[in-house]
Amino acid sequence: MNIFVRMANLDRRWIFVFLFLVVSLAYFLRNVTSVPVNTTKEVESIYNFIEGLDPGDKILLALDYDPSSLAELHPMSRAILLHCYRQDVKVVGMTLSQYGAGMVEEVFRNVKSEAERIYGKTVEYGEEYCFLGYRPYPAFVILGMGENFRIFFPRDYYDTPLDDLPIMHRVRNYDDLECVVVIESGTAADMWLVYGSARYNMPLAFGVTGVMAPDYYPYLGNALFGLIGGWKGAAEYEKLLEQEHDANRGMLAQVVAHLVIVLFIVIGNIGYFVSRKKTKIGD
């Protein structure tokens, strides 16, 4: 078997091993070297929107993902929450992910502690943020919140009546919030567009997994005012916030992995075309 045929028929396990080694090496070097991250308009627009809010303004942050997407989406949740706490913007949190409620509650608690450490200010539950928890049937929850949050969330995650939370005073529906930011890994994104934006026309922005990002670019400028796509988007937000963390540190591994995959695609194609040419000559 000549080298070109071998190139075209390379065992996929060699690719996995090589990719694992290269990404491991890049991950170990994440504190030694980094790759430049350029910000894009769709991420800047979310950053600028929150930056332009007044202290005391409120937003709805829906973290609709579960532990399987934690690695990819947590950096953007963290960055947006930190940004809100820095700007004294109040955050009403919730989730439409059945497997995500416990994890999202932990995300809110961890980022609260981190914000207190970084910005030296107190972030109190019920005052600066609250977590409403999970409710099933995303479409109906989204429609219901457009009328009144209390229809589906009479009480928060900790069983406190919503009216007992200072942050929820004078908050009835989307009209009482400045915007809705959805960090999404599932199908609820479509429902936010169809039942949220199309029905209630509130300012809506998405942070989505890399796989989902291309599907939602067409909505930019009409239904969405901003879009954070995967780790690259999270890295951009971290850079704008000047809080470079997991997403920025992981960008070296991303770049190297992309280069490795491009390399293997080129090798596979060279092998395929050369071996095909030889077969034709042989015929």
Partner 1 sequence: MTRRQLATYIFFGVVVILFAISVALKGFFVTFGAFLTLAIFSFLYDDNPYYKFAEHLFVGVSAAYWMCMGFWGTMVPNLFGRLYPPMVGPVIPALKDNPSDPFMLIPLILGIMLLMRLSSKAGWISRWALAFVVGTTAGLNLVRYLRSDFIQQISSTAMPLYVTNSAGFSLGETISNIVIFIGVMCGLIYFFFSKEHKGAFGAGARAGVIVLMITFGASFGYTVMARISLLVGRMQYLLDSWLGMIG
Residues at the site binding partner 1, with contacts judged by CB under 8 A = 13, 16, 20, 23-24, 27-28, 68-72, 98-99, 134-136, 139, 143, 155, 159, 161, 193-195, 197-199, 209-211, 213-214, 218-219, 221-223, 229-232, 246, 250, 253-254, 257-258, 261
Q: With respect to partner 1, which residue has the nearer C-beta, 5 or 223? A: 223
CA 147 to CA 172: how far, in whole Å?
Answer: 7
Q: How many CA atoms lie within 13 A of 135 on its CB side?
A: 22
Q: In the structure encoding, which two tokens stand for residue 102, read together?
A: 């416990």
Cα separation, 84 vs 93, whole angstroms: 12
Query: Please, which residue, 48 or 122, has the CB nearer to partner 1?
Result: 48
**Nearest partner of 92 among 125, 55, 50, 129, judged by Cα:** 129
Closest to partner 1 by CB, 26 vs 123, is 26
Q: Which is nearer to partner 1, 86 or 155 (CB)?
A: 155
CA distance 42 to 100: 26
Residue 152: DSSP 8-state:
H
Residue pair 5/268 in contact by the 8 Å Cβ criterion: no
To partner 1, the closest distance from the beta carbon of 32 in angstroms equals 12
Tell me the closest approach of the beta carbon of residue 38 to partner 1, in angstroms: 15
Any idea which residue has 């990719």 for tokens?
19
C-beta of 90 vs 239, nearer to partner 1: 239
For partner 1, the closer of residues 139 and 270 by Cβ is 139
The least distance separating partner 1 from the CB of residue 205, rounded to whole angstroms, comes to: 15
CB of 210 to partner 1, least distance (A): 3
CB of 90 to partner 1, least distance (A): 24
- Residue (4 or 192) nearer to partner 1, CB: 192
Residue 33 CB, nearest distance to partner 1 (Å)? 15
Q: 18: left (phi > 0), else alpha (psi -120 to 50), else beta?
A: alpha
Q: How many C-beta atoms surround the C-beta of residue 279 within 10 A? A: 10
Give the long-range contacts of residues 215-221, CB within 8 A, separation 24 or more. Answer: 216/189, 217/42, 219/193, 220/42
Other C-beta atoms within 10 Å of 75: how many?
Answer: 25
Smallest gap, in angstroms, from Cβ of residue 56 to partner 1? 29
Q: How would you list the strands of the sheet with 129-134, edge to edge?
A: 129-134, 90-95, 58-64, 179-184, 204-208, 226-229
CB of 121 to partner 1, least distance (A): 27
Packing angle between helix 70-86 and helix 101-119, nearest 10 degrees? 40
Identity of the residue, 58 or 135, whose beta carbon is nearer to partner 1 in the bound complex = 135
